[in-house]
């Protein structure tokens, strides 16, 4: 029989770095991981964050991870959650739009993962969890630039997983459908003033289950993938999509 810890999904003694953790999915992950005993390090571009950082900046990431290491002495878990979005087809995507999304969603994951891997290798173990999207698995209308970046996150996940599977580092990604975050509220206010309720219903109905995912539901899946209970899982993309992929 296998060994089961007295408390499942226990993160006591682990240092978990969560990017984009000031709101939405990142905040939910940080809150849950802390509740499960992890020493959570909140990284966000918000100046009020525990560790303010522009993940697209090599200097910022280097400075931030040096400071984290000086404070904690280790990094056991990295959740690459920081990201930005864009709505539009290729015709509605400017070179600046493409570069802006690439800088945060792709280069940010690369920079933070590279910094974390260097630390994890010293201890011979670690977990990296990336936030991809169902847009990395199927076509989503009007999400050209966003889908490009999330496809890159998916393949970075598989690359890190295969390169470090023999060295104690696991890497997976989560692929959510639409998640009910402050971004959604801002998007509805900006693009559909006076029609927010109507358009919210449209966003909800995109998922066959009839609603959007909650940040807490994504956080629960993240907890499993970053815990020792998932020690045999690496290089995988986990949809949490309310039935989109089977509809």
Question: Would you name the residues annotated as active-site residues?
Answer: 146
For residue 232, report the phi and psi dihedrals to the nearest 5 degrees: -100, 10
Residue pair 95/148 in contact (Cβ under 8 Å)? The answer is no
Nearest to 26 by CA among 97, 104, 142, 88: 104
Q: What gap in Å lies between CA 27 and CA 24, rounded to an integer?
A: 5
Nearest to 213 by CA among 184, 180, 247: 180
Q: What gap in Å lies between CA 32 and CA 116, rounded to an integer?
A: 21
For residue 82, report the phi and psi dihedrals to the nearest 5 degrees: -55, 135
Q: What gap in Å lies between CA 226 and CA 219, rounded to an integer?
A: 10
* 3-state secondary structure (DSSP) of residue 16: strand
Please name every residue paired with 234 in a beta bridge, in sequence order, or none if there are none.
none
* 3-state secondary structure (DSSP) of residue 132: coil
Q: What gap in Å lies between CA 135 and CA 147, rounded to an integer?
A: 5
- The string of DSSP letters for 66-96 reads HHHHHHHS---EEEE-------B-GGG--HH
């Amino acid at each position: 029989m296998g060994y089961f810890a007295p408390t499942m999904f226990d993160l006591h003694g682990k240092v978990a770095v969560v990017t984009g953790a000031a709101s939405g999915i990142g905040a939910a992950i940080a809150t849950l991981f802390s509740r499960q005993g992890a020493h959570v390090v909140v990284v966000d571009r918000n100046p009020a964050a525990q560790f303010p950082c522009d993940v697209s900046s090599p200097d910022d990431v280097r400075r931030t991870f040096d400071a984290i290491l000086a404070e904690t002495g280790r990094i056991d878990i990295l959740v690459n959650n920081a990201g930005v979005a864009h709505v539009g087809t290729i015709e509605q995507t400017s070179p600046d739009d493409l570069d802006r999304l690439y800088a945060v969603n792709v280069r940010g994951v690369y920079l933070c993962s590279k910094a974390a891997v260097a630390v994890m290798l010293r201890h011979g173990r670690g977990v990296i969890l990336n936030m991809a999207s169902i847009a990395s698995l199927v076509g989503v209308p009007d999400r050209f630039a966003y889908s490009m970046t999330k496809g890159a996150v998916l393949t970075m996940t598989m690359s890190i997983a295969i390169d470090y599977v023999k060295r104690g580092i696991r890497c997976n990604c989560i692929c959510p459908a639409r998640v009910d975050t402050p971004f959604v509220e801002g998007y509805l206010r900006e693009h559909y003033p006076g029609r927010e309720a109507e358009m919210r219903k449209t966003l909800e109905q995109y998922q066959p289950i009839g609603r959007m995912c909650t940040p807490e539901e994504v956080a629960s899946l993240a907890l499993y993938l970053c815990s020792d209970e998932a020690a045999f899982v690496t290089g995988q993309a986990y949809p949490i999509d309310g039935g989109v992929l089977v509809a």
